[in-house]
Amino acid sequence: MTRIAALLALGLATTTASAQDTAAPAVNETFKFARPADQPEAIETSPDGRIAVSVTTDNDGRALWSVSRGGTLIVAPSRLGFLFTDAPKIERQLRIQSVTHAKPVDTTWTQPWGEWRTIRDNHKEMRVRLMETTPLHRVIDVVFRVQDDGIGFRYEVPDQANMHGANIADELTEFSFAEDATAWWKVAFQWNREEYLYQRTPLSAVGTAATPITLKLAGGTHVALHEAALVDYASTAVMKTEGNTLRTVLTPGSGGPKVVKTGSWTTPWRTLLIADDAPGLYMSHLMLNLNEPNKLGDVSWVKPGKFVGVWWNMIKGDWTWARGPRHGATTANVKKYIDFAGANNIQGVLVEGWNVGWDGDWAGNGSAMQFATPTADFDADYLANYAKSKKVSLIGHHETGGAASHYESQFDQAFKFAADHGEHVVKTGYVADAGQIERANPDGSIAREWHEGQWMVNHHLRVVQAAAKYRVGIDAHEPVKDTGLRRTYPNWLAREGSRGMEYNAWPGKNPPEHEANLAFTRMLEGPMDFTPGVLSLTGSDNSPIQSTIAKQLALYVVLYSPVQMAADTPENYAKYPDAFRFIRDVPTDWQDTRVLNGEVGDFVTFARADRNSRDWYLGSITDENPRNVTVTLDFLEPGRTYTAQIYKDGPGATYATEARHAIAFETKRVKKGDTIILSLAPGGGQAIRFKAGR
Amino acid sequence: MTRIAALLALGLATTTASAQDTAAPAVNETFKFARPADQPEAIETSPDGRIAVSVTTDNDGRALWSVSRGGTLIVAPSRLGFLFTDAPKIERQLRIQSVTHAKPVDTTWTQPWGEWRTIRDNHKEMRVRLMETTPLHRVIDVVFRVQDDGIGFRYEVPDQANMHGANIADELTEFSFAEDATAWWKVAFQWNREEYLYQRTPLSAVGTAATPITLKLAGGTHVALHEAALVDYASTAVMKTEGNTLRTVLTPGSGGPKVVKTGSWTTPWRTLLIADDAPGLYMSHLMLNLNEPNKLGDVSWVKPGKFVGVWWNMIKGDWTWARGPRHGATTANVKKYIDFAGANNIQGVLVEGWNVGWDGDWAGNGSAMQFATPTADFDADYLANYAKSKKVSLIGHHETGGAASHYESQFDQAFKFAADHGEHVVKTGYVADAGQIERANPDGSIAREWHEGQWMVNHHLRVVQAAAKYRVGIDAHEPVKDTGLRRTYPNWLAREGSRGMEYNAWPGKNPPEHEANLAFTRMLEGPMDFTPGVLSLTGSDNSPIQSTIAKQLALYVVLYSPVQMAADTPENYAKYPDAFRFIRDVPTDWQDTRVLNGEVGDFVTFARADRNSRDWYLGSITDENPRNVTVTLDFLEPGRTYTAQIYKDGPGATYATEARHAIAFETKRVKKGDTIILSLAPGGGQAIRFKAGR
């Protein structure tokens, strides 16, 4: 029996008014619910009037939100609500109590570093207050921000007589897409966390997916579903329920509620980027605009830059993190890397395995890690001074092995050590399978947390804040996903959070389409420490990487990170001096960014303007298919000539054979409005520096 | 970074041995892992040698199970394991410590009531002991039972130094089907619990599904995935991870662990029925065989039978459960139903709304329910005696509104009241949305549980055991799913657990294919209290039901329940005396059952032998398509003649128009080996009583 029986019993429903799910195999209907006559209208539009969000309630008092764009329904009426572990859920018997429209905002703000110097925030905002008609009379607000290129909404819940905080079992926010779509997504809640390849399936074949998930609707509109400003809440995945409907599934924690809130509380923003094409998704600033402004004050000490590292030789299995005859992080090895960085316009040297704690089975079990105790063969003081003499900084490394509480117990000494040794950036690591993060309870027992659960969301912010005290930036690996918090905490420079270059060291390498997938999925989150630039194109045991050299160069422009690695070894770079010149030249901090063209998983071309010169850089990559991409140089300054230093796939180049090393160089003069054709090899790419003349 | 880095660091792996997921969009590979040379072989076959189960470990020490049938891989190597909230997971670094094969079993046992009197249990059993190679050295056993028509396996975990019980966060059992398949499934973890329509999609488009989920593999083999003997554990759903892989997802509870176990512990059996066709799935006794024998001793007091009820008028909205001018459960109304039952070979009269507690908004909020206090207009003592005089029993009704702890506090008085009033069966109800079951904590606060979480799994058994003390049987609505426990507790007669007839009272009616779906999905669990027999074919406001009359009759044979309702009102049955004769005749307890033909969701024909006579009964139903079904009467006794009393769709009958009422009657003599053709109308069916002659 279902609830209608109860309503019938009370005379609160009639059977002609459907209180049932239409339980047919969930094709979204493009119906519009009539607005209940006794409730205010709740509609907000984007500044350009093209996107409209509306909220209404159905016969069961369910609050339903929907989005249309240019008159076409994008999200059909979709449910809102919460389950709690200790209180009746909030889902039905709601009415719209009030609707408040904020004064439209149109302003700009400046990024201390980033892909654009200035960001325009142009949005309209609507607050919909929902109140239960049942005796508890609980109130929740849903606040919508609508930009021309997407929407965000979040729940804001006041402290009230019948709800002081919440023990949230799950969030019931649904996204019922009005059309079928092609989806690019990766699985959530599996052991390898965020490090799965993106797969392309119909929307109907999505299982449980991490966000962002990118959709191309049947009508061509592109949508990316993600969240912004994830603070003190569990990260959400989305699960396909039926048809084209996705629903939030919060990441579990070790406790009963997935999220515990006290007093008044808010959720992260649920976000949809909406654009005509894939480049349009990338060009949106919605994610950053939904985050709060910088809370750290002066952040001039946050330094973007390139780095090399005692790393690839370990990833390939030639050196070890642990002490012993093949230990990588020795004073002698690091000194060579410092010399190389100093000679090649590279600002940092990452050293992994420099500290005590790597000798046991540390993965998922990092309680032996000491974050301020170097191994005997790593002379930290000497190397810090030596690096300084070469105008290079060491980049610190804190691998926790998932022992997050253990790491927190050493925060002060760890970041003091980093600061004392001139480390502007620390790379953190949480190598442990999903659900295996160690959190210490007050009684000393260990609870097991998830990398993206509420506790770890808070842990990462504790790391960033502890680091900021010592003027240290953070590059988190095995992180929580990026939701734009770099705006609020500009020392949170980058993170991993997807399959990076390291997978090219091992069997099961990244396929040629991988980076063209990343550009319109993972990269919509924010910077990724992908670690490009393996010009040798070989992993362990000389296994071939499925890329061309020119594509490795192009990745420096395509895959944004303010801290960008040159991942190969100095010995290998010495073999490719002409190609390496681009890595030496390319900056990591940008004045402006344009996505010139692209299709998810197929190809993409970026142009970016250096923040510290008048040069522009271009990077274009393709999947396994060769293609000619025509680009008009509209982005260049009018009236100025540029020398285009072109790094392109050589004759016969292809990722599939030894011809992957074929690269060609060309120099020519260009100006704004010129058209160039980029010939990309299978698995290839092209990189161009537009050196500004007069 | 992933775990391989850690292994590399330790020299425990080489990069040529893949420790990575092959992260390509998960096409199952039909590879066979080589058995590690230092581990025993773990293979068990079915008695007929056709099905083989094997367990091995991969390079990461993952234990992988697989199933083949007739040399064809059905389940590719699939993972096993557990996540815990307070201990490292068990998933990798396992080795096969020992393999034990039990003595093959081939025996029969007798059901006190059921679809078959005798059940053959013919299986082989293998116990695989897995031990961690890591310092914890934890041990888990996986026990496989292999029948000719399917397999079951469960984890059995001894109490041990490093694992005394377990706080289980989730179970990591995977089912990686080797072929693509068509899947019939319904969504799990949605508000309406088990009451969703089955949908047919590719296996790859399954989201998160309740079990049983039924598959037709590309090669034609049929498989149903479910669980058996669900005791003191959370019910599991399955979620699609990637490609053709489904993984267990345990039902949540209000606490952190989804399951809490102490000492040594076991899981329910994970089951796969495997057959050439849909009827083969139904004919398996695997589910019952995996449950423990009767624990209640003499159960001669458990009485199958038919019943009518003060019910359909409430479901339609004409009467009310609550007191007032339209109250259904009045002495006068019930007396009429008793008279009707007594006159028509119907053994029970269900009365809903007879007790105090229905006046408020009781759904999801049943704390006012009094289970031993009749309303003033319901004279329980008089009616009990009156029923007895007509050789009829009242069927009790305990609607909890989800207030399960509240119900438990009244167990003794409730079942004593039932027994004192001659109620052999009580129908229970848990009308509350998913996740809204009220469980009282020791401090009086209320926790919110799920209908199929560990706590409710245990609650239902407490109900059944409390009822058994008073010799009362249970018919649970909004129940936990059926996993064959009627073998162990034969007073657990039936349950709802899917969309029953009631949905035909309301808008969003069951489509014509619904019962043909149920036969090969929900009905694989066990008896369902579907409540067929609405011969008026009208719901609320005279809305049409999408069925013919003959199909309503056929459902008495197709949809098994030992307590089978005649759901329509006496007034309506009076309008269809010829058709009603079948309902009057048909028994509810069977000697033998044969599924003669069928395709999931299309059609099905059952033949069943009455346990108390030599008569056979046949029921055949179709979806929206008409069809002629040829049946050879091989099931009849040789040398005996039968009078076939045939109830068939009349000329022009169809569910789609007023011709749904067209029914024809025919009588003819038949004998074993005769062939008959059943002409089924769109949305129609046929019912036959084969009355045994000499």
Give the 3-state secondary structure percentages of chain A, helix then strand then coil, rounded to 5. 15, 35, 45
What CATH homologous superfamily does B305-497 map to?
Aldolase class I (3.20.20.70)
Closest CA to A510 of A552, A454, A571, A550: A552
Contact B555, B583 (CB under 8 A): no
Supply the pLDDT for residue B38.
85
User: Are the Cβ atoms of A446 and B86 closer than 8 angstroms?
Assistant: yes
DSSP-assigned letter for residue B114? S
Number of Cβ pairs closer than 8 Å across A and B? 262
Residues of B in contact with A25 (CB under 8 A): 197, 199-201
Output the six-digit token pair for A600.
């998810």
Supply the pLDDT for residue B36.
73
User: Are the Cβ atoms of A448 and B86 closer than 8 angstroms?
Assistant: yes
Distance CA B75, CA B67 (A): 5
What is the mean predicted confidence (pLDDT) over B66-74? 96
Closest CA to B567 of B589, B590, B539, B541: B539
Identify the burial level of B360 via C-beta atoms within 10 angstroms of its C-beta, where 0-12 means exposed, 13-18 middle and 19 or more buried. middle
Percent of chain B scored above 90 by pLDDT?
Answer: 93
Distance CA A168, CA A250 (A): 9
Residue with tokens 């139904």: B282
Residue type, A31: F
Answer whether A150 touches B (CB < 8 Å): no
Distance CA B437, CA B447 (A): 8
Residue of A nearest to B496 (CA): A1
Interval A498-524: pLDDT, tens: 999 999 999 999 999 999 999 999 999
- pLDDT above 60 (res A14): no
Alpha-carbon dihedral A154, A155, A158, A160, rounded to 10 degrees: 180
Answer whether A14 touches B (CB < 8 Å): yes
Output the six-digit token pair for B627.
């069809």
Output the six-digit token pair for A566.
């040159």
Answer whether B162 touches A (CB < 8 Å): no
Substitution target in A3, A7, A8 with the highest count of B β-carbons within 10 Å is A8
Distance spanning both ends of chain B, measured CA to CA? 79
DSSP secondary structure, B327-367, as one string:
BS--HHHHHHHHHHHHHTT--EEEESS-BTT-SS--TT--T
What is the mean predicted confidence (pLDDT) over B219-247? 96
What is the SS3 assignment for B21?
coil
User: Are the Cβ atoms of A88 and B316 closer than 8 angstroms?
Assistant: no
Find the CB nearest B242 among A25, A207, A322: A207
Distance CA B305, CA A632 (A): 81
Find the CB nearest B3 among A21, A197, A433: A433
Alpha-carbon dihedral B60, B61, B64, B70, rounded to 10 degrees: 90
pLDDT bin (cut points 50, 70, 90) of residue B35 is low
- pLDDT above 50 (res A19): no
Distance CA B123, CA B150 (A): 10
Contact B449, B404 (CB under 8 A): yes
Percent of chain B scored above 70 by pLDDT?
Answer: 95
Supply the pLDDT for residue A360.
87
Domain at B551-694, CATH from 3.50.50.60, 2.60.40.1180, 3.40.50.10540, 1.10.10.10: 2.60.40.1180
- pLDDT above 90 (res A4): no
User: Are the Cβ atoms of A401 and B6 closer than 8 angstroms?
Assistant: yes
**Partners of residue A667 on adjacent β-strands:** A645
Closest CA to B435 of B578, B292, B198, B251: B251
Distance CA B81, CA B89 (A): 7
At how many degrees (to 10) do helices B380-389 and B331-343 cross? 10
Interval B148-204: pLDDT, tens: 999 999 999 999 999 999 999 999 999 999 999 999 999 999 999 999 999 999 998
Report which secondary-structure segment, H or E, holds B573: helix B570-575
Substitution target in B62, B132, B185, B242 with the highest count of A β-carbons within 10 Å is B242
Residue type, A85: T
What is the SS3 assignment for B611?
coil
Interval A382-428: pLDDT, tens: 999 999 999 999 999 999 999 999 999 999 999 999 999 999 999 99
Interval A40-86: pLDDT, tens: 999 999 999 999 999 999 999 999 999 999 999 999 999 999 999 99
Supply the pLDDT for residue B117.
98
What is the SS3 assignment for A394?
strand
| C-alpha distance from A496 to closest chain B C-alpha (Å) | 8
Distance spanning both ends of chain A, measured CA to CA? 79
What is the mean predicted confidence (pLDDT) over A128-132? 98
Closest CA to A549 of A439, A464, A665: A665
Domain A3-289 belongs to what topology? Beta-galactosidase; Chain A, domain 5 (2.70.98)
Residues of B in contact with A86 (CB under 8 A): 254, 445-448
- pLDDT above 50 (res A31): no
Residue of B nearest to A186 (CA): B242
User: Are the Cβ atoms of B197 and A321 closer than 8 angstroms?
Assistant: no
Distance CA A96, CA B123 (A): 61
What is the SS3 assignment for A373?
coil
Residues of B in contact with A8 (CB under 8 A): 314-315, 317, 320
**B91 catalytic residue (yes or no):** no
Interval A257-291: pLDDT, tens: 999 999 999 999 999 999 999 999 999 999 999 99
Distance CA A542, CA B235 (A): 49
For chain B, positions 48-77, list CB contacts with chain A under 8 A. Answer: none
What is the mean predicted confidence (pLDDT) over B602-618? 98
Task: Name the average pLDDT for chain A.
Answer: 94
What is the mean predicted confidence (pLDDT) over B61-79? 97
List strand residue ranges (DSSP E) for A22-161, in order.
42-45, 51-57, 63-69, 72-79, 82-84, 94-101, 105-110, 118-132, 139-147, 150-157
Residue of A nearest to B358 (CA): A9
Give the 3-state secondary structure percentages of chain B, helix then strand then coil, rounded to 5. 20, 35, 45
For chain A, positions 183-242, list CB contacts with chain B under 8 A. Answer: 187, 190-192, 195-197, 199-202, 204-208, 239-242
Find the CB nearest A436 among B88, B253, B447: B88
Supply the pLDDT for residue A354.
98
Output the six-digit token pair for A235.
């990260």
Residues 6+ apart with CB under 8 A from A37: none
Residues of B in contact with A319 (CB under 8 A): none
pLDDT bin (cut points 50, 70, 90) of residue A7 is very low
Closest CA to A55 of A45, A38, A41: A41
What is the mean predicted confidence (pLDDT) over B436-442? 96
Residue of B nearest to A81 (CA): B191
Closest CA to B227 of B166, B143, B116, B153: B153
Residue of B nearest to A199 (CA): B25
Cis peptide leading into residue A212 (ω within 30°): yes
- pLDDT above 60 (res B677): yes
- The values of phi and psi at residue A414, to 5°, are -65, -45
Count of CA atoms in the C-beta half-sphere (13 A) of A3:
22
Supply the pLDDT for residue A35.
59
The CA-based angle A169-A174-A176, given to 5 degrees, is 160
pLDDT bin (cut points 50, 70, 90) of residue A38 is confident
Find the CB nearest A4 among B201, B496, B506: B506
- pLDDT above 60 (res B10): no
Answer whether A253 touches B (CB < 8 Å): yes
Residues 6+ apart with CB under 8 A from B674: B632, B633
Closest CA to A549 of A539, A562, A535, A538: A535
- pLDDT above 90 (res A242): no
Residue type, B289: N
Supply the pLDDT for residue B440.
97
pLDDT bin (cut points 50, 70, 90) of residue A682 is very high
Output the six-digit token pair for A692.
């500004």
Cis peptide leading into residue B212 (ω within 30°): yes
Domain A306-482 belongs to what topology? TIM Barrel (3.20.20)
Interval A167-214: pLDDT, tens: 999 999 999 999 999 999 999 999 999 999 999 999 989 999 999 999
- pLDDT above 60 (res A566): yes
Exposure string over A365-397, b if 16+ CB within 10 A, otherwise e: bbbebbbbbbbeebbbeebbebbeeeebbbbbb
What is the mean predicted confidence (pLDDT) over A581-602? 98
Supply the pLDDT for residue B18.
34
The full set of domain ranges for chain B reads 3-289, 305-497, 551-694
How far from B105 is each of A45, B124, B289, B293, B668, CA to CA, in Å?
70, 6, 11, 15, 44
Contact A241, A174 (CB under 8 A): yes
- pLDDT above 60 (res A36): yes
